[in-house]
Amino acid sequence: MENKRTEISDLGEFGLIDRISQNFTSVNNETELGIGDDAAVLNSLGSRIIVTSDMLLEGVHFDLSFTPLQHLGYKAVAVNVSDVAAMNAIPKQITVNLGLSNRFSVEAVDEFYKGVKAACDNYKVDLIGGDTTSSMSGLVISVTAIGMVGQDKITKRSGAKEKDVICVTGDLGAAFIGLQILEREKQVFMANPDMQPQLDKYDYIVQRQLKPEARMGVVHELAELDIVPSSMIDISDGLASELLHLSRQSGMGMKIYEDKLPIDKQTYDTAVELGIDPTTAALNGGEDYELLFTVSMDDMEKLKKHADIHFIGYVQSSDKGNIMATKGGNEVEVTAQGWSHFKKP
C-alpha cells in the first residue's frame, strides 16, 4: 500500500468519485439523496437550516511537509462542524470540493478521505457530494457543512446582554504553540535531514494543531441542561478577536480576567520555552476551535459543575469597553492583537 502509486488519470474523475463514495453511507434521516446525482436532496423536517463553508489552501492554511493528509481531511471537516456548533446547531451533511495537482495520487486522495470519513463518523454527518478538479496551485480544499436547529435555539453573535457570564470551553493557545513547534522542527529537519523531529514532549499541542476537534459535545450538553446561550462564536482566530466580534455584534462591552483564561500546562511550558507570553498565545493564537459563549447568571449556575467550561468574565455596557484585568492588577484594553505591549513578532 505504502509504495503503490496510482495516477488519478488511471481511474478517471468518475472512477475516483465512485471510489470515494463507496466508503460513505448516510446516517441522517434528513439526507434524502446523497452522492451520485446532479445534486443532493435534503429534508429539513421543520428545522432551520444552517450553511457554512471554509476553504483550506496549501501554503496558506497548511504545510504538507508536516501535515498528514489524513489529519488534513479530518481538520477540513472539523473546522466546518465547529462553525455549525457555534450556531448551536447539529451538523447533518457536508460537501467536499477538491482541487488536485498532479502531485497527488489516488492513494493520497484515499488518505485524505480516511480523515474525512473518521470525522463524518465522529460527528455523525453525511458526505453528500462535492466536486473534483485539477489544480495548478497545490491542494485546494473547500468544505461546506449543513446543520439543523430549532428556530428557538439558534445562537448568533449578537445576543449578549449586560451581566451575562462569558464562558469558554477547553483550553486556549495550544494549536498556535503546537504550530510553532512544528515549524521549528521543520527548520531543524531542513538544515539536517538526519535529525528526527522530537515531538513526544509536545504531543498534546501538536495534536491540537494537526487534528482539532469541534465542540459538538458541549452543544449536546447545553441542550440537555436546557440552556440556550445568549451569544456564541467558535474560536478560530483567537479569543481576543472573537470576543470583539461578540462585543460589536451585541453592542456590549466585555470584561475578562487574565487569571481565568484556561491554558493547558504543556501549552504554558512550551510557550515559556519559546519566549512567547502564554496569555498572548491564549488571546491571539487561533485555531483552537473551542466555543466562546455568553449565558445568563441563572444558566451559569447550571454549568458550574461542568469541568470543561470556564467562566472568564462578564458582559458590561458598551461604554465600559472591552477590558482585561491582568494578573498584576492592571486593566488593559482587549484588541485583536491582544494588547499593545504584547504585539505578535
- Binding residues for ligand ADP, rule: CB under 6 A, are 17, 20, 35-38, 96, 98, 127, 129-132
Has 317 been labeled as part of a binding site? Answer: no
Nearer to ligand ADP, 2 or 37 (CB): 37
Q: Is the dihedral of CA 64, 66, 68, 73 positive or negative?
A: negative
DSSP string, 127-140: EEEEEEEE-SSS-E
Instruction: Find the shortest distance in angstroms from Cβ 127 to ligand ADP.
Output: 6
Instruction: Find the shortest distance in angstroms from Cβ 243 to ligand ADP.
Output: 36
Chain-centroid distance of CA 344 in Å reads 21
Closest residue to ligand ADP using C-beta atoms: 129
Q: Where are the alpha helices (DSSP H) in 106-173?
A: 106-123
Measure Cα distances from 249 to 96, 163, 280, 308 in Å. 30, 16, 24, 26
The site partner of 333 among ligand ADP, Mg ion, none (C-beta below 5 to 8 Å per kind) is none
Cα–Cα distance between 115 and 79 in angstroms, integer?
13
Nearer to ligand ADP, 12 or 251 (CB): 12
Most distant CA pair in the chain: distance in Å? 66
Asked if 254 contacts 334 with a C-beta cutoff of 8 angstroms, the reply is yes
The site partner of 130 among ligand ADP, Mg ion, none (C-beta below 5 to 8 Å per kind) is ligand ADP
Instruction: Find the shortest distance in angstroms from Cβ 73 to ligand ADP.
Output: 11
Has 339 been labeled as part of a binding site? Answer: yes
Nearer to ligand ADP, 117 or 211 (CB): 117
Cα–Cα distance between 8 and 330 in angstroms, integer?
59
Q: Which stretch binds Mg ion (CB under 5 A): 56-64, 128-136, 219-227, 297-305?
A: 128-136
Has 38 been labeled as part of a binding site? Answer: yes
Nearer to ligand ADP, 41 or 195 (CB): 41
Nearer to Mg ion, 131 or 162 (CB): 131
Cα–Cα distance between 150 and 234 in angstroms, integer?
19
Binding residues for ATP: 113, 130-131, 157, 236
